[in-house]
Amino acid sequence: MPTKNCQLHHSKGSDKESYVSSLLAKMTLQEKIGQMSQLNNDAEKLDESIQKGLVGSVINEVDVIAINRLQKIAIQESRLGIPLLIGRDVIHGFNTIFPIPLGQAASWSSDIVELCAKIAAIESSNNGVNWTFAPMIDISRDPRWGRIAESLGEDPYLCSTLGTAMVKGFQGNNLSDSSSIAACAKHFAGYGASESGRDYNTTNIPENELRNVYLPPFKAVADAGISTFMASFSDLNGIPATGNKWLLNDILRTEWRYSGPVVSDWESIPQLVTHGFCADKESATFEACDAGVDMEMASDNYAQHLISLIQNDKISIEQIDTMVSRILKLKFDLGLFYSSFTESPSSTVHLNDFHLSHAKQAATKSCVLLKNNKQTLPLSKNTIDTLAVIGPLADDGYEQLGTWAFDGKASDSITCLSAIKDYVKDSVDVKFSIGMETSRSNNDDGFDEAINIASAANIAIMILGEEAILSGEAHCRSNINLPGYQEELINAIYETGTPIVLVIMAGRPITLQPILPKVDAVLFAWHPGTMGGPAITELLFGEECPSGKLPVTFPRAVGQIPLYYGQKNTGRPPSEETFVDINTIKTKAPQTSLGMTSTHLDTHYSPLFPFGFGLSYTQFDYKNIKVSEYCVPMGKSLKVEATITNTGDFDAEEIVQLYIRDLVGSVTRPVKELKGFKRIYLAAGQSETVIFVIHTDELAFYDRQMKFKTEPGLFNVWIGGNSDTELKTEFEVFCTEHDEKI
C-alpha cells in the first residue's frame, strides 16, 4: 500500500477541535460555502474553483494522477490549502468486483461483507479515493425496485448487522490509515418503500413503522461510528428527505447524537422544486440547509443562494460554521491535512491473488440453491460425456459484474463458460450456445442451436437471468419474471428431455413459478462479480457445498408484492384450512365459501421461497429446542438452544437462524422477527448444539407514544434453517417489583 505524502499543515497529534476552529476563523464566507459544495469531475472551471477555495469535494474522479493534480491545486494554490474529499460509488468493489450487496447479504456473514468492503477500500484508496457512498441500508421489500440490488435485503436485524460490518470494512480501525475510506449511510430514510417499486417515488411510512423497521439499520451504523450520511431523494410523508428537518435534525442529530456531515443525493436540492415542496431554488437551498444538509452533491444551489439567505437573516452564520466544521473534522479524521497526495498505484494492490480469492469465496457463499430435484447436483465430470452450456449470461464478463461496478472490467472477469471448460478440461465435451442475443431478446432466433446441443448432451446448464442494466438505480421493473424469451428457451430445452440445471444471475428476486417444474436444479447466483465463474463452477461440481440463504422473500407472483416474512398477523390471517383457490372451484359458489382471510384468490398466500431459505447438498435436522428459563425478569438474558445434525453425506455449512414473536403488544407486532444467526460447519453425521443469548433489551420496540421499550408478556421463539421453520418453544418476560416502581 503506498504512503500518502504532502506538506504538513499540523502535527498528527494536534487537537481536532482547536485546529478546525482556528481554520474556520480564517475562512471567508465564500470559502465556507465552498467546503459545502461537491462538484462532479467534469464541472466547468473545476480547477479555477478549487484554486479559489470554492470546492470541498470532487466526485467521480478515479485517476490517481488527476486526483493528485486536483489535491495539489487545493493544497498549494488555494489560499488556505484545504484538501479535497474525493468521492466515488465504491459499492461492491473497485477493480475487484464482489457480488452485489444483495448477494453479499445472502452469505449471512459479517466477516465476508467486512472483508469485501476492506478490499474495496484498499483498491480505491490506492487511486486517491477517500469517500464512498455505501452502504445502502434501505430496507427493501419490493423486488420491482431496481435498487434492491444495492440493498442488504428486507430485514432490519440482518441489514443492521451486515451494514455495520460493511462500515467497519471501509473505515478500518482508524480512518486516517492510508487504506481506509469514509463510509456513507444512505438513503436516509425510507427510500426502499418507494410506491410501486418505482425509483425516486413517494414513500408514506407511519412513524411507528419508520422507527421499528426502516430506521434501525441507520441507528446501528450511526452508533458504529459511520463518517457520513446521505439524505434520500424521496418524499417522506409529504416532506422530501432532503428538506426534512424532523428527520435530519430531530432524529439524526438530537436523538441519535450523530455529529458527522450529511450530504445530499445527486442534485436532490433543486429537486425540492420539482417535488412541489419549494417554489424556487433559493427556497430549496433554505429548506435543505435549514434541515441539516451540510454538503450539496453535483448541483450549485448553495454556491448561488446561501449568501443571500444569510444576508436576509434566513440562515445564520453560526449554522454555516457548524456545518462547515463537520466537513473539516471529517477531513481531519481522514488525515488529509497531513497526507493528501497518493503515490502511483501499486500494481500488487488491484486484483491481486488475495483479493480475487476472497471475491471467489464471497460469490461461493452468496449463491443460494433453490431446487435440487433427485440430487441432480452436484455434477460429476466422471459421469458426463457431453455438457451443454446455454444462455446469454454464460460467457459475458461484463454482465456478471452487476450494477454499480463502474471501475470493474469485463476483461478481468472469469465467466462460467471459461471456468467450466477449465475445470473439466478434456474429460467432458463442452458445447456452448448463447441461445439468445441478450437476456431481453424477444425472439427465438438462437433456439435451434441450443436445442441441438442440449439434445446431444447428458446435462444442460442454462445460465440466464437479468443483464446488469435491468437492476440498479432507475432500473425498476413492473414484472420480475425472466425477461425476454427466456421462459420459452427453457421450455424448448425441457422438450429435449435433457436434465436442466438453471443458474440465474440477477439483481433482484425473480418470479420463477412458471418454469420451476421444467428444471431439475436452480442455483441463484445474483450478480456474482469478477470471480463468479469459478465460484459457480465449483458449486455445480461439488467442490463447494451451497450455503447461501435468501436475504429477501421470493414471491410466487408479482401481485403478492410487497411480501415479506415479518408481516403483521391481521385479524383474519390465512391458513391452509381457510385458503380457497378460486381456480379449483368448478361451479358457482356463494361468497361465504371463499375463505374470508387475508389472501389472494388466485395465488397461494405463501411465498415461493421464504426469507432465509437455501438448500444444501446435505440435509440438516433441527431438534431439541429449549430455553434456559421459561420466566425471564426484565433486564436479564436467557439462552435458547437447539441441536443441529448433518444427516446427509456432504460436509457443509449451515446458517442457523433465531426468530421470535411478541404475541401481544401495545402496537401490533410482526409474526416473526429475526434476532440472531450463526454460520456453522458440520461434517457428515456431526451434531452441534447452537446456543443464542437474548437480552430482554433486544425485544424492545417503539410503542404508541414512540417510546422504545420492552413490554412484558409471552414470546414464541424458533430456531431453524429459514423463516418458515416450525421448531419452536416459548418464554415469558415479566416485570419485577423494582421495574414496576420505575
Which positions are annotated as active-site residues?
Answer: 265
Which burial class, exposed, middle or buried, applies to 374 when counting CB atoms under 10 A from its CB (0-12, 13-18, 19+)?
exposed
Question: How far is 36 from 264, CA to CA, in rounded Å?
Answer: 10
Pairing of the two strands 708-709 and 701-702: antiparallel
Contact between 195 and 145 under an 8 Å Cβ cutoff? The reply is no
Cell of 290: 435549514
Cell of 411: 476483461
Which burial class, exposed, middle or buried, applies to 729 when counting CB atoms under 10 A from its CB (0-12, 13-18, 19+)?
middle
Contact between 604 and 711 under an 8 Å Cβ cutoff? The reply is no
What is the edge-to-edge ordering of all strands in the sheet holding 228-231? 184-188, 228-231, 262-263
> 229 forms bridges with which residues in the sheet?
185, 262
* Summary count for the chain: helices (H), strands (E): 20, 26
DSSP state of 414: -
Contact between 417 and 432 under an 8 Å Cβ cutoff? The reply is yes
The amino acid occupying position 402 is G
In what helix (H) or strand (E) does residue 169 lie, and over which residues does it extend? helix 156-171
Cell of 281: 431554488
User: SS3 for 240?
Assistant: strand
User: SS3 for 688?
Assistant: strand
Cell of 444: 427465438
Question: How far is 152 from 214, CA to CA, in rounded Å?
Answer: 12
Q: Residue 670's closest CA among 585, 535, 568, 586?
A: 568
Question: How far is 118 from 354, CA to CA, in rounded Å?
Answer: 12
What is the edge-to-edge ordering of all strands in the sheet holding 713-720? 631-633, 728-734, 713-720, 652-662, 673-682
Cell of 398: 461484463
Question: How far is 178 from 172, CA to CA, in rounded Å?
Answer: 10
Query: Dmax of the chain from CA atoms?
Result: 86
Cell of 525: 447466483
Three-state helix/strand/coil letters over 517-535: HHCCEEEECCCCCCCHHHH
Pairing of the two strands 459-465 and 386-390: parallel
DSSP state of 289: H
Cα dihedral sign, 506-507-509-511: negative
Q: Residue 150's closest CA among 205, 203, 182, 191?
A: 191
> 37 forms bridges with which residues in the sheet?
296
